């Protein structure tokens, strides 16, 4: 269990944050505790309670979790609550330049409207993921604020064992 926790900590430095569901440990079950079969023999319990295999280091993980985290981060960038550089390792250079320009325009609009730069209340709504090809995922993330909702479209491509956003559109 400690080894699995170390692996999760190690991957936290190379991937965007994601939630990992961990089941509580169950007491060991004996063969005699298993369900009886019709022929009177005891069914094997080991297959149902065997621990799962360790995660594959080349597996980039669930694209929906990555899209959810990136969608929220992109909305925070556009509202001024986060810097683009904080997500630079999960986006390409083109996306970085695009978000820098959009963030500058949004900041200019906030300053002319004299809105305060308080931290906005953002909530992620639905996430829809499509897998058009191997190593490619296209996602739409709906991010809600107090006054409106924004749709963030993200194209994720698998590069070096993790998902990277290669295109972003915000409505």
Evaluate if residue 13 carries a pLDDT over 70: no
At 89, phi and psi to the nearest 5? Answer: -75, -15
Write down the pLDDT at residue 115: 65
> Which of 73 and 26 is assigned the larger pLDDT?
73
Rounded to whole angstroms, how far apart are CA atoms 30 and 39? 19
Reported as a single tens digit per residue, the pLDDT across 106-162 is 989 888 877 665 677 899 999 999 999 999 999 999 999 988 899 999 999 999 899
Nearest CA-CA partner of 130 in 158, 151, 150, 156: 156
Burial class (CB in 10 A: 0-12, 13-18, 19+), 99: buried
Interval 42-85: pLDDT, tens = 444 334 444 444 555 567 889 999 999 999 999 999 998 999 99
Please report the pLDDT score of residue 134 as a whole number: 93
Q: What is the pLDDT of residue 120?
A: 79
The residue with tokens 């810097």 is 83
Q: Phi first, then psi: what are they for 4, rounded to 5°?
A: -65, -40
Q: How many CA atoms lie within 13 A of 78 on its CB side?
A: 20
What burial letters (b/e) apply to 128-142, b meaning 16+ CB within 10 Å?
A: ebeeeeeeebbbbbb
Q: Using one digit for the tens of pLDDT, what is the confidence trace for 81-119?
A: 999 999 999 999 999 999 999 999 998 988 887 766 567
| Domain range list for the chain | 2-49, 63-170
Specify the CATH number of the domain 63-170: 3.10.450.50
């Amino acid at each position: 269990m400690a080894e699995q926790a170390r692996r999760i900590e190690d991957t936290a430095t190379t991937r965007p944050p994601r939630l990992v569901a961990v089941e509580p440990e169950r007491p060991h079950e004996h063969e005699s505790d298993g369900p009886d079969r019709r022929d009177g023999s005891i069914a094997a319990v080991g297959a149902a309670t065997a621990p799962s295999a360790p995660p594959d280091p080349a597996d980039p993980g669930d694209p929906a979790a990555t899209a959810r985290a990136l969608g929220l981060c992109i909305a925070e960038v556009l509202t001024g609550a986060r810097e683009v550089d904080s997500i630079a390792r999960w986006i390409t250079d083109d996306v970085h330049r695009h978000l820098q320009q959009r963030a500058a325009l949004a900041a200019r609009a906030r300053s002319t409207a004299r809105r305060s730069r308080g931290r906005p209340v953002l909530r992620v709504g639905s996430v829809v993921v499509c897998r058009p090809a191997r190593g490619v995922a296209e996602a739409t993330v709906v991010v809600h604020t107090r006054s409106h909702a924004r749709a963030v479209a993200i194209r994720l491509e698998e590069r070096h064992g993790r998902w990277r956003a290669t295109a972003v559109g915000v409505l």
